[in-house]
Each structure stands twice: as C-alpha cells, then as structure tokens.
A and B are shown apart, each in its own frame.
Chain A
Amino acid sequence: MIGPDPFPLSSPPGPQVRPVHDPFHGDLLEVSMGPHHPSTHGVFRMMVTLDGETVVKLKPVFGYLHRNHEKIGENTSYLGSMPYTDRLDYLCSMTNNWAYALAVEKLAGQAVPERAEYLRVILAELTRLLNHTCLAGFLLQDCGASGTPLMYAFREREKILDLFESLSGSRMMCNYQRFGGCRVDPPAGWLEAARTVAGNYGQFLDEYEALLTGNEILMARTQGVGVLPGPLAVSAGVTGPMLRAAGVAYDLRKVDGYGVYPRFEFRVPLGAHGDTYDRYMVRVLEMRESIGILRQALRDIPGGPIMDPKARLRGFRAKPGEVYSRIEGPKGEIGFYLISEGGPNPYRYRVRPPSLINLTILEDLCLGQSIADTVVILGSIDIVLGEVDR
C-alpha cells in the first residue's frame, strides 16, 4: 500500500519497511500480518515486503504479549514463580515447571527421589505428545485444512488433559513440580489410566498419519519449503525438532542426560532436507519415540517418596551463586538462568525462550518464498507467544 498508513507501526518505519518504488519491478507491497490474524499462533506480527507474491523482506515484531515475567520473577519468591512458568509456554506447562525446578535444584544442590524423577519423565513425554499433536493440527490448519486435523488433535489432547487434571487439579496450568520432587503422589488408578492412554496413542497416530503423512496436498505445500541448512541453524541457536530436522543430532535428553533419561532406550529422529515436511515428520517420529519412553517409564516406575525429605518449601533460600540449566522441551531447549544473592527472591531470573530464538532465522527461511508459504513456515517453527514475549 502506498501512501500514509492509517494504522501506523509502533516502530517508526525505517528505510527497510517503507514501500519502495523500484522502477524495474514496479512497486513493492508492504503487508502487516498481525498482530491479529487467523493463524492461531497468537499475537505475533510480521512486516512483510512483497514483490508480487514473493517475499522480499520480513521483519518480525514482538512484544504484544510481553507480561514482564522476568521482573515479576525478581519480585516473587522462588516458589511463587512456579505458577508463572506454567504460563510461559502455555501448552506445555509440565516441562516448563520441570525446567525451573531443575534450575533451582541445581542452584541449591537439592536432590530428587527416584519416583519423582520417573514421574517427571512420564509427564514430560505426555506433554511432548500433546504439543506435537497440537502442532500437527495447527500446521494443517495453516495449510488450509481448516478444522479436521485440529479436531482430531484436540480430541486426543483432551485425554491427556484429563490425566493432568486428575493429577494436579488443573488442565493447563498444572504448577505440579516442586524443588525436590513433585507436589502430590498420583491418585490410585492414575498410572493405569496413563498406561491406557499411552497404549492407545499409537493407534491414534496411525490413524492421523494415514490422513496426513502421505497426503499429496501436504507434501506439495511443505516439501522444499523453508529449507534450513544445518550450520545456519547452529549459529542461530535453533534447538529442538527444528534443529534435528536440519540434520544436526543434538537432543538434550541424550547430550545432557538429565533426570533418569539415560535409563531409557529411544532414538532421535533426524531430518535430511531441513524443510517444513521434515520438521513435521521429525515431530511425528518423536511422538512414536515418546510412546516408547512412556511404556518403559510406566513399567519401571518405583515406589517411594514423591518429595525429598530434606527439601524446604517454606522459607526457601538458595545460597549466593548462579546457575544456567536447560531441558529438552517439546519446542526446543528451555533454560533458566538464575542469580541468587541469598535472599528469598532471585536477584536475576531469566528464561531462555526456545520459540524466540527459533524465530531468529524466520526471515532467512521465508525470503524468496511466496506469502502463502510464510504462514506454513511459521506454523512449522512451532512458536507460542507466551514464551516469545514472556
């Protein structure tokens, strides 16, 4: 659009976003995609400059969900920040909780009993299943399959949310991990119900894949689209399934071996091309591996206490020091950097958001593609704005 913008940007337009009149190619069109747009990723805005339908420049604009989580973390006690970590990546609250609990446990030198470690692995893998299923649904929604894969995905998600609700009291904001273990022991029958859900998930994945994986529309829209080369991914700090789809074998469950992950046998799927189809397939294969881990963990979970007896919840203070600890969340490496000065609140509370850092190469992936592909590429990066903006 040429002329004064009736909806001006919050950032003053620099030379790169003003419409440019290029005499050889005609006018370039500048489109503001967002912050309210039908793609269901949240309040994210992309300033896209188009030459016809091809993307010439893309600048993401963040901050529409900046809720000053880090400042609240400095003004709240360690335990008081646990419910806020639920709201970071609001689809995967259990893994956010674990990442934060792990960071504080490392800061304070706190041990965790074995039953709690197994439970954490079970909940993290259930969260991974939930997240990847929803991602497949949202990606297909962005491709235009408006509703059906998302309906199937949410139907399965409800079964896992039932498990979370009976365990922690809340569907989404579980607030379940504590420093030194978990909040409460699973009720009677919970492990059986989890076994049933994990057992049936393979069949659901078969049904889902029969609908999607060989689907020629999906393949035509995603193969060769948004190719991410491995070295660029490493330099840009991309982590999670996106990095593995680019061919780099780096999964923190294997590399760092946190929790009791070294006891389980599972493979790490890698992509060969780094395109959107690979990112989708890596997530589907990760779901299959997660079902395997769940089966092993639910079989081997020992009895015992759920919380370390020496853990102090009230009046928790960590010794002065700092720590950076990370886990493999469903979206990538989620890390917490905490600086303690010995008081009840952390001095500095920093979240390493995988979604924000995965977006570093959004422009690189979208250049030269058509604008319809931009939505598909964004869908395959798997962002959640609660984490991007914190």
Chain B
Amino acid sequence: MSDPAAPPSPPSPPSPPTQAERDELRRHGILLTSLEELYNWGRSHSVWPLQFGLACCAIEMIAASMARFDIARFGSEVFRPSPRQADLLIVSGTVTKKMAPQVVRLWNQMPEPKYCIAMGACAISGGPFKQGYNVLKGIDRYIPVDLYIPGCPPRPEALLHGLMQLQEKIRAQTISGPEAPRHLQAGGAPECAVPDFGAHDLQPPQNPEVWRPPTIIRGGGA
C-alpha cells in the first residue's frame, strides 16, 4: 500500500527504444540514433593513419593498403604524410632511441582525437632487438598506446583486425563523463614530454605519466 503522506513518485522516463523498434522505424525511412552514436560512427569509420613506417612492419602496413588486403574499405583510404591531418599513428617497426624524440614530437603535433597502434613486437616491447643499446623497449614508454598488435611482422590481416578493434573501441566511447575521449574532457590532453639525448641513454628513460613498469614479485629461487 502506498503511503498517502509521501510525495507522489515522479513519472518514470520512457524506456529507450529497443533495437527491434529502431529497425522497424528504419524500414519506414526514419533513422533514430543518438548524438553519441552518430559522432562515434563518423569518427570510427574514417580513421586516417599517418604515413609513418619505421621498419619491416611498414612493408606489411603498405601491403595492407594495397589491392589484396585493401585498408581503404575500412575508411583508412588516405595515409596522410602530415601529422596535422592524421588521426592514427601506427608505430610500425622498431623505435630506436635516436628516433624516439621524433616519434613523440609527431604524436604531439597530431591534433585530438588521436589514437596510437603499436604494430609489431618491436613497437610493443622492443621485440627481437630488445637486447640493444639503441632500441627503445616499447613506444608505450613515452606515448599512450591504444592498441597492441603482436607479430613479427603481423600479417596485414592482423593489422586489419586491429583496426577493427580500434573502431569498436571508438564506438564504445561516450561523449561525456569519465569515459569520454581526451579531447572532450575538461583541460584537454597534455603534451607528452619529448626525451633528450643523454650521454648513455635517453633522458628520461621513460615518461612516468604515461608508463610505469608493472610490479613483479619474484621468488627467491631461480
């Protein structure tokens, strides 16, 4: 029994239309969507990569853009040579310490919204060349990476699969709230610090705002 002294409960808002109702409406020529969906749909299906190939993975990236694998059907038709016009930085190949400042600079020059894919073992963690005085043990030490594609080199199909995952990730973003992308948050995205060349190594060896080595607890014995 409802209490007569309590204020009347506000009317419940109408429930959002189900997918079946939306399909029915679409059959009648009415497209019902939300601003968020539309925004993310437009963004995810026209991701323009930067023409940025470092090493062997770059050849597989080029092969992915060629006739057999055809990245153009995913919206990544044009590889832009200028970072000001690109959305996606596919770090394909080994990032050496000599090259790392330039990569971070390119990342800073790309306007938001921007995404980074670390393609290949070398970009993820240094790869087969990890034991190297000039090899950066993964580009995620300096810039935030959205997607990792393992392989040495990953097949073009793997790159396309990664691109599809990135598109799903973009579609799942919200316009407001804590899950919003960086460019929609108050304050915007800060620039990543560009490392300097030191006497023996890059200074700093990693960017602590972007990456911290995970904690591993090891036992005493081998």
Interface residue ranges, A against B (CB under 8 Å) = 7, 10, 35-38, 40, 42-43, 63-69, 71-72, 75, 83-84, 87, 90-91, 150-151, 154-155, 157-158, 171-173, 385-386
Interface residue ranges, B against A (CB under 8 Å) = 51-56, 58-60, 62-63, 66-68, 81, 93-94, 96, 98-99, 102, 105-106, 128-129, 131-135, 152-153, 155, 197
The one of B62, B99, B128 that contacts A64, using a Cβ cutoff of 8 Å: B99
Q: Tell me whether A40 and B55 are in contact (CB under 8 A).
A: no
Q: Is the interface of B mostly helix, strand, loop or mixed?
A: loop
Contact of A154 with B134 at beta-carbon distance under 8 Å, contacts A42-B55, A43-B54, A72-B129 already known: no
Can you list 29 A-B contacts with CB-CB less than 8 angstroms, sorted by A residue number? A10-B98, A35-B99, A35-B102, A40-B53, A40-B62, A63-B98, A64-B96, A64-B98, A65-B94, A65-B96, A67-B55, A67-B96, A67-B132, A68-B132, A71-B131, A71-B132, A72-B129, A72-B131, A75-B131, A84-B128, A91-B59, A150-B62, A154-B67, A155-B66, A155-B67, A158-B63, A171-B155, A172-B59, A173-B153
Question: What's the Cα separation between A355 and B15 when bound, in Å?
Answer: 66
Chain B: minimal CB distance from A188 (Å): 24
Residues of the B chain whose Cβ atoms lie less than 8 Å from the Cβ of A75: 131
Q: Tell me whether B129 and A67 are in contact (CB under 8 A).
A: yes
Residues of the B chain whose Cβ atoms lie less than 8 Å from the Cβ of A386: 55-56
B129 nearest CB neighbor, chain A only? A67
Chain A: minimal CB distance from B131 (Å): 6
Question: What's the Cα separation between A155 and B96 when bound, in Å?
Answer: 31
Q: Tell me whether B66 and A151 are in contact (CB under 8 A).
A: yes
Residues of the A chain whose Cβ atoms lie less than 8 Å from the Cβ of B51: 38, 40
Chain B: minimal CB distance from A94 (Å): 14
B57 nearest CB neighbor, chain A only? A90
Question: What's the Cα separation between A324 and B151 when bound, in Å?
Answer: 33
Question: What's the Cα separation between A69 and B128 when bound, in Å?
Answer: 10
Question: What's the Cα separation between A91 and B63 when bound, in Å?
Answer: 12
Question: What's the Cα separation between A42 and B96 when bound, in Å?
Answer: 13
Q: Tell me whether B131 and A66 are in contact (CB under 8 A).
A: no
Contact of A90 with B132 at beta-carbon distance under 8 Å, contacts A65-B96, A150-B66, A172-B153 already known: no
